[in-house]
Structure 1
Amino acid sequence: MDIAQLERGIVKGDRRALSRAITLVESSRADHRQLAAELVEALKGEGGVAREALRIGLSGTPGVGKSTFIEAFGGMLTAEGLRVAVLAVDPSSARSGGSILGDKTRMDRLSRDPNAFIRPSPSGAHLGGVGRRSREAVALCEAAGFDVVLIETVGVGQSETVVAEMADLFVLLLAPAGGDELQGVKRGIMEIADIILVNKADGDLKSAASRTCADYSGALRLLRKRAQDPEGFPKAMMVSALEDTGMQAAWQEMRALADWRRAHGHWDARRAAQARYWFGEEVRQGLLAQLAAPEARAAMEELGAAVAEGRTTPAIAAQALLERIGAQTGKRG
């Protein structure tokens, strides 16, 4: 693979080059990982970092209408002359490892928009509902000149908070419901949400949406004040993806929040903290990968049998395994 040619294509906004690059960064092959790292580093040298897109993480309960919302919201942004990239993460089967990857089908209109780019990716074994390499995919979209990158996660759960480590804003999408819905949403999600959008605020559901929005507004006021928020944030709002209502108001609030964070130094500080977080993740994943080596697997089998037979304890066996791995790493170094 010609990395220099791929790099030039991305900088020019070539969709095919961008798709190939994302496929490359998602690969787990060692040679592909090396090429992906070289590509991302080269794009930084081309000024890719200077092309900062607004990264918006989007999560919501199943059936809330995330795809419908993204299609309507993305279409509104492209109509304003903005280029929009959508990184939609689909859940992977725990049994087969496969994913349906049907987001392009659900966003048919947006997928044909020349100013939009939709890339469905499998979540794999990542509990956060975000592919391990989603952050690199975001960087590639920025280098390709996209103004807004939407990162859609699988659904709501405590582990979904990982999307906040790659987004500038976190938007939680909810459907009109009773009080039980408030109990069903994890506090961790509530604490990282910048804006809560109650979708389907139309027709017979409009009054229910109004009550739900009021419930969440009250809940948000009870949360501890965050340093990165101006007065009035986080906030809850009503939208209707079906009728395209409330979209413009939500976008104005997103821009206002992003502008305030830039002006008060929170934007750069947050991106720096995110870079440090992903450095730590790479180190952790690299250490875990060492357990897949043949020597480590053989040692685990041996020590596991000793634990099962009661000849040693799990803690002692684990310590012995880590010492062996450390010794082997030192010899290779």
Structure 2
Amino acid sequence: MLDIQDMAKQVLAGNRRALARAITLVESGRADHREQALELLETLRGHGRTALRVGLSGTPGVGKSTFIEAFGLMLTAQGLRVAVLAVDPSSARSGGSILGDKTRMERLSRDKMAFIRPSPSQTQLGGVARRTREAIDLCEAAGFDVILIETVGVGQSETMVSEMSDLFLLLLAPAGGDELQGVKRGIMEMADILLVNKADGDLKLTAMRTCADYSGALRLLRKRPQDPQDFPKALTVSAVEQNGLDTAWAEMTTLNNWRRENGHFKARRAAQARHWFEAEVRERLLARLAVDPVRSVMKDLGSKVENGALTPSAAAEALLCEHLSLD
């Protein structure tokens, strides 16, 4: 058995090894580990530390890892502690993941002010591991100033990261065809800042044109109450040449400060907590379908549906009302 009280003290003290063990604990699927994870999270609740949670999404190949490394190194050089929670896609066939973010962010992984934790997405929609939200809480308790959450891919189901971050960045690549059709409107409406990466070399002018196109598109979107004047906005950055990173950070700081001063920061955190409570309830209900006796009943009802003895609706009603007591 783990000493949860000691682990909590070590996490609060900023012990990186204890933090890694704590994240492993909350990611575990074992029932006994889940009980210990809940005890740990409850022990750490109310620690009083607040980090800036920054979600980052973008299409594969846009340079998310390169950007995070350059951006993270810039922040650590300013004396800020940076945690990176990178979610890698899992194979639908084997369930395995490469988890190569520490390899791709070699310099940042050696920085004593940084902590990188790759996690498999498993079967989760949105490219965010189910327990990423709890890992964020642990990193915040450990005293990190900025937490970067990198999600896989981009699309309608990738917006989960916006429900666990204070700022949501969308990384874009220049010369990607019809840029304004390259990203669905839904995720654009959730982004706080659009960053057109690879604004260097032969692509610099193309990146500037792409940024101008997106700036025009953003002006057509409905104004959001949590945004000050001129937000959301599009900027160009070069992770390779490290150009525009300081400007991006200045804009992020400006937006975060404005939201704090106008009450949007706390309101958003509260709404996110309620969202994840409801999500956890849904996950628990779905989990009950995968264990006996409900699994056996569901299998029997499924056979009756296949044979035409029951309609799908009647079988679902019987399962929910008689066996899950959800009438």
In the superposition, the TM-score normalised over structure 2's length comes to 0.98
2:243 maps to which residue? 245
d(CA) in 1 for partners of 2:182 and 2:202?
A: 23
User: Given that residues 26 and 37 in structure 2 are in contact (C-alpha distance below 8 angstroms), is that contact kept between their aligned partners in structure 1?
Assistant: yes
2:190 maps to which residue? 192
User: Given that residues 55 and 168 in structure 1 are in contact (C-alpha distance below 8 angstroms), is that contact kept between their aligned partners in structure 2?
Assistant: yes
1:235 maps to which residue? 233
Matched, 1:177 2:175: yes
1:21 maps to which residue? 22
Q: Deviations over 1:138-188 (max 9, x none)?
A: 000000000000000001111111101100000000111255132120111
d(CA) in 2 for partners of 1:304 and 1:231?
A: 55
1:309 maps to which residue? 307
Q: Deviations over 1:63-92 (max 9, x none)?
A: 111111000000000000000000000001
SS at match of 1:294: coil
Q: Deviations over 1:263-317 (max 9, x none)?
A: 0000000000000000001110111111012111111111111111111110011
d(CA) in 2 for partners of 1:82 and 1:178?
A: 34
1:280 maps to which residue? 278
1:219 maps to which residue? 217
d(CA) in 2 for partners of 1:281 and 1:26?
A: 16
Unaligned runs of 5+ in 1: none
d(CA) in 2 for partners of 1:197 and 1:88?
A: 18
Matched, 1:39 2:33: no
2:155 maps to which residue? 157
SS at match of 2:45: helix
Matched, 1:56 2:57: no
d(CA) in 1 for partners of 2:87 and 2:177?
A: 29
1:208 maps to which residue? 206
1:140 maps to which residue? 138
1:300 maps to which residue? 298
d(CA) in 2 for partners of 1:298 and 1:35?
A: 29
Q: Deviations over 1:212-239 (max 9, x none)?
A: 0011101111110000000000000000
One-letter amino acid of the structure 1 residue matched with residue 205 of structure 2: S
2:120 maps to which residue? 122
SS at match of 1:289: helix
d(CA) in 2 for partners of 1:278 and 1:314?
A: 30
1:254 maps to which residue? 252
One-letter amino acid of the structure 2 residue matched with residue 241 of structure 1: A
Once the 2 structures are TM-superposed, how far is the Cα of residue 324 of structure 1 from its aligned partner? 2.4
d(CA) in 2 for partners of 1:135 and 1:300?
A: 31
One-letter amino acid of the structure 2 residue matched with residue 280 of structure 1: E
d(CA) in 2 for partners of 1:129 and 1:74?
A: 21
Once the 2 structures are TM-superposed, how far is the Cα of residue 206 of structure 1 from its aligned partner? 0.3
User: Given that residues 176 and 182 in structure 2 are in contact (C-alpha distance below 8 angstroms), is that contact kept between their aligned partners in structure 1?
Assistant: no
SS at match of 1:59: strand
One-letter amino acid of the structure 1 residue matched with residue 181 of structure 2: Q
Once the 2 structures are TM-superposed, how far is the Cα of residue 37 of structure 1 from its aligned partner? 0.9
d(CA) in 1 for partners of 2:11 and 2:302?
A: 48
In the superposition, the TM-score normalised over structure 1's length comes to 0.96
User: Given that residues 178 and 212 in structure 1 are in contact (C-alpha distance below 8 angstroms), is that contact kept between their aligned partners in structure 2?
Assistant: no
One-letter amino acid of the structure 1 residue matched with residue 26 of structure 2: V
1:270 maps to which residue? 268
One-letter amino acid of the structure 1 residue matched with residue 12 of structure 2: V
2:103 maps to which residue? 105
SS at match of 1:161: helix
Moved more, 290-299 or 251-260: 290-299
SS at match of 1:128: helix
Moved more, 133-142 or 28-37: 28-37
SS at match of 1:242: coil
Aligned residues: 326
Q: What's the % identity of the aligned pairs?
A: 71
d(CA) in 1 for partners of 2:302 and 2:176?
A: 49
d(CA) in 2 for partners of 1:56 and 1:178?
A: 25
d(CA) in 2 for partners of 1:142 and 1:178?
A: 36
2:12 maps to which residue? 11
SS at match of 2:210: helix
> Deviating runs (4+, > 4 A) in structure 1?
none
d(CA) in 2 for partners of 1:27 and 1:179?
A: 41
d(CA) in 2 for partners of 1:239 and 1:250?
A: 8
User: Given that residues 87 and 129 in structure 2 are in contact (C-alpha distance below 8 angstroms), is that contact kept between their aligned partners in structure 1?
Assistant: yes
